[in-house]
Amino acid sequence: MKSILSFSILFTIVFSLKTEYIKYEEEDKIAIITINRPKELNALNIQVLEELNKTLDTIDTDKIRALIITGDGEKAFVAGGDIEEVYLFTQKEAEEFSKKGNNFFRKIETFPIPTIAAVNGYALGIGCELTLSCDIRICSDNAVFSQPETGLGIIPGLGGTQRLSRLIGMGKSKQMIFTGKNFRSDEAFRFGLVNAIYPQEELLAEAKKLARTIAKNSPIAVKNSKKAINEGMQVDIDSAIKIEEKNFGECFETSEQVERMNNFLNKSKKKNLKES
């Protein structure tokens, strides 16, 4: 079922997905996923992961150009995993949980459209790992990041030991993981973990502004850019250049490329005529 709400000139579509902990909205060409478990500081358990996965499957990436992921409330983005659910896991169960979570986070990482983590408060453990699977991270000035798993006798299990090093470097990554220390927004920015910091009340609006800026560009070009960057990071430079060449070529002979380049050339001609 779809309900349509109009806020001044803003057109918002809210989909009922029969999810208990996930809210999903569309505003024109951008989508917003909100993890809605504020009493538990939006902690992720198996049900939340399944609902997130289900929600991703509903997104029409031909229509939607960018996705924002955030948490409900002002205290937390995702304050880790649900310890009560996992603390009695056997080794096999823990590995299966890690595999299931990693499959989903990899799905976010390779999602065709750009993903933006709008981090409103605590992003601890699995919450921090969720941000790492997104393309861009922005945060509120009260945000806190950490990988505190070593203090619980475990290690990050949903990509933290791998993506964090690729993002901020091995030394800083080891510092975060070995110490389990909390890093506030300014430290996270200095480490290169986040792209920008905003006041809490401005965060979502800024995330939407960023998403709309992305949405204005050619969807084929943006998708191919993401694919080239992600795949190129996994191989040597010579192989990466070949990936870029292929994705560059695929942008041509598309209606988007022809129309946008024609528009550019026409504007240039008009400008030259005015100046002559």
Which residues are part of the catalytic machinery?
129, 149
Q: DSSP label at 3? A: E
Asked if residues 97 and 46 have their Cβ atoms less than 8 Å apart, the reply is yes
Q: DSSP label at 260? A: H
Cα angle value 19/23/25 (rounded, 5°): 125
Rounded Cα–Cα distance for residues 207 and 31 (Å): 11
Q: DSSP label at 224? A: H
Q: Could you write out the three-class secondary structure of 111-154?
A: CCCCEEEEECCEEECHHHHHHHCCCEEEEECCCEEECCHHHHCC
Tell me the three state secondary structure of residue 24: strand
Amino acid at position 14, single letter: V
For residue 16, which of 28, 35, 3 has the smallest C-alpha distance?
3
* Residues found in the chain: 276
Alpha-carbon distances of 20 from 5, 7, 14, 23, 272, rounded to whole Å: 21, 25, 14, 8, 58
Burial track 38-69 (b if 16+ CB lie within 10 A, e otherwise): eebbbbbbeebbebbeebbeebeeeebbbbbb
